Amino acid sequence: MPQFREHPAAEFLRSFPVAKGAKVSLERVIAQRATFAELSATALLEPSLDVLLAKACAVAARSCNVPMVKVLEHRPSSGEFLIVASMGLQPGIVGHVRVPADPSNPAGEAFQTGRPVAVRDVGNRPDYHLPPIFPSHSVVASANVPIIGLAGYYGVLEVDATEARDFDILDLSFLASIAEIIADAIERVRRHSDLQAAKEARELLLREHHHRSRNSYQVIIGTLQRHMRQATTEDSRRRFDDVRRRVFALASLYDHLIGDTTAGELDFCRYLGDLCRRMRDFYGTEERGIELLADCPDFGLRFDVDTCTALGTVINELVANAIEHAFPNGGGRIEVRLVREDDEPVLIVRDNGAGFAEAQSESIGLSTAQRLVAAAGGQLTRTNAKSGTSWTIRLPPTTEPGATEKTTRAAPVPG
């Protein structure tokens, strides 16, 4: 059987001294249990620690019938408490007033001893050197319990009255239970903060990686351009240009990733529009008299990075092929459209050029495009029209917002 570590507060509660035959009001027990259940529900649903602490103070005040409650957070660096939540105290106290975390006051004594401290009349304790907040609020009686979590002591929950009174075992055990909820909430917030910090650090490293990769791709593109100009045969220049285009597609993806905080999956519609804008600049379509239109409505499509890499490379190859071959007599128009056919997303790359020459099928880029689409789980088909060529890409399965069933993701792109 696995061994579970007991929560410190449970051990703390069981150690309370209870006089044999002691009796308490059933009405008080029920009332405190009701308010405890109310606070427990708040702790489960409320993400804000400040709101929960304020609620805990209100619950403690009502259940113990006191006018003042405060939560004191221990600050190890200064050896003091900082009042971080309160009820019934003067304005300007929370977040500003500090109290010594030593046995010179009831809260410090409870923290140092790890035991509840209940004082009927603080004025009758000559060993106390009470902080100014006591006389300024006319505090006479005080009950304090440590706030204990799995990782240690966080501070003290204190309730105060303006007249002498006793706090019995029911009051102290109830306050200890509230303190346990506070401790659990503090640890939850700290765990969340740690996870958020780790997430932000990973995202920062990922963005830095993308920046470096993007810069490396730009260097490669420049090198390929130089070698393409130096090539001595048309076939060599064509092969260098095919590789250059593929590297451009990858560089465009990395540029897009830099601005995307959810690098696990990308908004494909937004990526497609961004890619078309980059292709206009990269290929100088305006200078060539070619209009590159992008119609990418937000269908909510999301693909992983591998699938976006494959599809981006294919779209780039189809557009580049049209720029190179479709308009021998001058300018024209290329359209990249995302549409729905039979309620399925379909990508269309279409030009109004001279039509597709069968000799183009031997292009390294087009043969690569066929393999990439197939490996990603899609389908690429070509249609020759009277004026121009149309390519249809039936996209691979994905999960769209509102879908009730998650389909299989695309396979990794082959090298």
- Residue 324: give the domain boundaries: 264-415
DSSP readout, 341-358?
Answer: ETTEEEEEEEE-SS---G
Q: How many domains does the chain have?
A: 2
Least trusted range by pLDDT, from 23-27, 294-298, 321-325, 330-334: 23-27
CB 311 within 8 A of CB 393: yes
Highest mean pLDDT among 92-96, 188-192, 397-401: 92-96
What 3-state DSSP class applies to 185? Answer: helix
Kindly state the percentage of the chain with pLDDT values over 70: 82
48 and 177 belong to one structural domain: yes
What 3-state DSSP class applies to 294? Answer: strand
DSSP readout, 369-405?
Answer: HHHHHHHTT-EEEEEE-SSSEEEEEEPPP---TT-SS
DSSP state of 105: S
What pLDDT is recorded for position 321? 86
Instruction: Find the mean pLDDT for residues 279-308.
Output: 87
The C-alpha torsion from 386 through 292 and 316 to 397, rounded to 10°, is -80
Looking at 192, 214, 248, the residue that finishes a domain is: 192
Whole-number mean pLDDT of the chain?
81
The pairing of beta strand 80-87 with beta strand 98-100 = antiparallel
pLDDT band at 402 (very low <50, low <70, confident <90, very high): very low
Residue 136 lies in a domain: yes
R_g of the chain, CA atoms, integer Å? 35
36 and 118 belong to one structural domain: yes
What pLDDT is recorded for position 17? 64
**What is the C-alpha separation between 298 and 216, in angstroms, rounded?**
31
Residue 365 lies in a domain: yes
Highest mean pLDDT among 1-10, 157-166, 238-247, 356-365: 157-166
What 3-state DSSP class applies to 326? Answer: coil
Residues 6+ apart with CB under 8 A from 145: 110, 116, 156, 157, 172, 175, 176, 179
pTM exceeds cut of 0.75: no
**What is the C-alpha separation between 11 and 167, in angstroms, rounded?**
20
What pLDDT is recorded for position 94? 94
Least trusted range by pLDDT, from 62-76, 190-204, 214-228: 214-228
Extract the tokens encoding 6: 């007991």
What pLDDT is recorded for position 401? 46
CATH number reported for the structural domain that contains residue 73 in this entry: 3.30.450.40
CATH number reported for the structural domain that contains residue 362 in this entry: 3.30.565.10
Digit-coded pLDDT (tens) for 208-245: 776 676 677 677 777 777 878 888 888 888 778 777 77
CA distances from 354 to 284, 331, 332, 365 (A): 20, 11, 10, 19
